[in-house]
Structure 1
Amino acid sequence: MADITRRFGYRHLRAAPTSYVRHLERGKLRREGAGLAFWFRPLAATISEVPADDRELTLLFHARTADFQDLTVQATVTYRITEPAVAATRVDFGIDLTTGRWRAEPLDQIGGLLTETAQQHALELIARTTLAAALADGITLLRQRIGEGLGGDERLAETGLAVIAVRITALRPEAELERALRTPAREQVQQEADRATYERRAVAVERERAIAENELANQIELARREEELIQQQGANARRQAEQAAADDGIRAEAEAVRRTRLAAAEAEAATILATAKAESDRALGEARAAGEAAWLAAHQEAGPEVLKALALIRLAEHLPKIDSVTLTPDVLTGLLTRLGGGQSS
């Protein structure tokens, strides 16, 4: 939209760089171009402002396929007015000289033209295509068909329009039909998910089986090692018993030898002692015999008084032991009497 200001009965217009302005005064062309700025008299001027930038147009329409199914097409068309002077003569781009706004709706007119033309080419293509084929390859075919149809349309070329790009943003059937079409895919996806779940479970079961087999193998190995340990312990115990028996035999043999040697030594000592004792007894007997002989010889040489005295001594030696003697007056008197009588005689 152009900016218009008023000064002293004249008006000044300033257009954007992307706007093509065409100024007519009393039916004659005074100036035209993009991004102009000039003074003009409003009573004698007619000004058109044509946009020269790229424009986006959204299309939404329904079509019926070859199998009588309703299909919604949503597309976007990018276009540009390449010949603004021609477009200004074919479409009303005149602006209000007070506000700078368009007096009509030129862009809606161009949009309607593009929409009807694109819809016509799309309907022709979809009407010969089944729903399944349209959903599978329809986007590419529609984009090509609409692009070619709009690019080769004579009316658009005469209006100064050029289509830059066509994009198909959506191609959808009715909601119920779309849900029905999604069901096989969902079922297939669900089957794939179930298959993945079963495979995961199978892998888990296989892993659990491998773990169980590994644990069983470990238990078997532990049992085998335990058996080997028990056998080794038995062999060690048997060796220890054999070694202990051998040690006991050696000790018993040593003890027997020691006892034999001790008995022999004791016998030898006893023999030596007996021999010594016999020699001692013999020597003692000989000494006693010699003493007796000497004693008898002495007695033979002694007189009767000496023999009596010796007899009394011998007798005294063989008398019982007397611890104490009690002398009563009677005994003492008789003894004294005897002693006195003996002395007197």
Structure 2
Amino acid sequence: MADITRRLGRRHLRSAPTAHVRHHRRGRLVHDGPGLSFWFRSLTAALSEVPVDDRELAMAFHARTSDFQDVSVQATVTYRISDPATAAARLDFSIDPDTGAWRGAPLEQISTLLTETAQQHALDVLARTPLAAALVNGVASVRERISAGLAGEPRLPATGIEVVTARVVAIRPEPDVERALRTPARELIQQEADRATYERRAVAVQRERAIAENELGSKIELARQEEQLVEQRGTNARREAEENAAADGVRAEAEAARAVRLARAEAEAAREVGAARAESQAAWLRVHAEVDSATLHALAVTRLAENLPRIDSVTLSPDVLTGLLARLGRSDGEGA
């Protein structure tokens, strides 16, 4: 929309670079071009503003396929007004000199023209296409047909309109038909998922079996090693007992031999001691046999005196002394 200001009874118009403005004064074209800015009088001016930028037109319509199924088509058409003078002459792009707004609805007319033209060509294609093919390849075929139909439509160049591109966003059936069509695919996907689940479970079972077999093999190997350990311990114990018994036998033999040697040594010592004592005794007896009785008595008294306890004092009574002297006298007489 043009920007119009008032100053001292006159008006000033300033348009955007994407808007083509045509100014007629008293039937003559005074200003013509995009992005203009000029003064004008509202009573003598006829203004038109034609947009020359690319515009997107979204459209949605229903169609019926060859197997009598309803589908909805969503498409977008990009267009531009390539000939503003022709468009301004064929459509009402005049603007209010006071507000700068369009007096009519030219863009709505263009939208209706493009939508009906595109819809006509899309219906023509889908009417000869079954639903399954329309859902699979319908987007490309409908897009090509709409592009070709809009390019060959004579009203568009005559109105100064150029179609840039046409795009078909989607072709969708009714919700219940779409659910019905999705069911086989979902079932197939579910079957594949179930198969993958079963395979995963089978692999898990095989792995668990392998793990169990490995554990069992480990237990068997451990038991075998424990059996070997027990046997080795028994062998070691028997060997240790045999070695201990042999050591005890050697020790006993050594002790017995030592005891025999000690006994023999003691016996030899005892014999030698006995012999020495016997010789000493014999010598002692020979000496005593050669000595007279008085000497023997003296020696006996000496030996007795050596073995008597210590006597501090001795008291001799007359009777004892008389008897002793009498014995000594008899001993002397017998000796003589």
Which TM-score tier does this pair reach, normalised by the shorter chain? 0.7 to 0.9
| Range 76-85 or range 200-209, more displaced | 200-209
Matched AA of 1:253: E
Q: Deviations over 1:116-160 (max 9, x none)?
A: 111111111111111111111212222222122212222112211
Identify the residue that residue 245 of structure 1 maps to in structure 2.
245
Q: Deviations over 1:242-272 (max 9, x none)?
A: 2211211110111111111112112212221
SS of the residue aligned with 1:278? Answer: helix
In structure 1, how many angstroms separate the alpha carbons of the residues matched to 2:93 and 2:143? 30
Match for 1:40: what amino acid? F
CA apart distance, 1:45: 2.2
Question: Structure 1 CA distance, aligned partners of 2:218 and 2:160?
Answer: 88
Per-residue CA deviations over 1:321-345 (Å, capped at 9, x if unaligned) read xxxxxxxxxxxxxxxxxxxxxxxxx
Corresponding position: 1:310 with 2:321: no
Structure 2 equivalent of residue 77 of structure 1: 77
Please show how residues 291-330 of structure 1 align to structure 2 within 5 Å: 291=291, 294-295=292-293, 309-310=330-331
Bigger CA radius of gyration = 1
Aligned-partner Cα distance in 2 for 1:238–1:142: 100
The size of the alignment, in residue pairs, is: 305
Query: In structure 2, how many angstroms separate the alpha carbons of the residues matched to 1:306 and 1:89?
Result: 202
User: What pairs with 1:3-82 in structure 2 (closer than 5 Å)?
Assistant: 3-82=3-82
TM superposition shift of 1:49: 0.7
The runs of 5 or more residues in structure 1 that have no matched partner are 299-304, 314-345
For 1:137 and 1:81, the matched residues in 2 are separated by: 32
RMSD of the TM alignment (CA)?
Answer: 2.4
- 1:129 aligns to what? 129
The structural deviation recorded for 1:311 is: 9.2
Counterpart residue number, 1:284: 284
- Mapped to 2, the partners of 1:86 and 1:34 lie a distance apart of 15
Specify the alignment match of 1:113 in structure 2.
Answer: 113
* Cα shift at 1:308: 6.0
Aligned residue identity for 2:209: R
Supply the distance in 2 between the matched residues of 1:223 and 1:229 (Cα, whole angstroms).
Answer: 10
Matched, 1:198 2:198: yes
One-letter code aligned to 2:279: E
Distance (whole Å) between structure 2 residues aligned to residue 107 and residue 124 of structure 1: 26
More displaced stretch, 197-206 vs 114-123: 197-206
Residue 279 to residue 82, structure 1, CA distance change in 2 (3 Å): same
What are the Cα deviations for residues 39-62 of structure 1, in whole angstroms up to 9, with x where unaligned? 222223221110011111111000
1:7-36 CA-partner distances (Å, limit 9, x unpaired): 344322211111001122232322210011
Distance in 2 (CA, whole Å) between partners of 1:260 and 1:140 is: 125
Corresponding residue for 1:322?
Answer: none
Q: Structure 1 residues 288 and 297 mapped into 2: Cα distance closer, same or farther (>3 Å)?
A: closer
- 3-state DSSP of counterpart to 1:242: helix
Match of 1:228 in 2: 228
**What TM-score do the two structures reach when normalised by structure 1?**
0.82
> Which TM-score applies when normalising by structure 2?
0.84
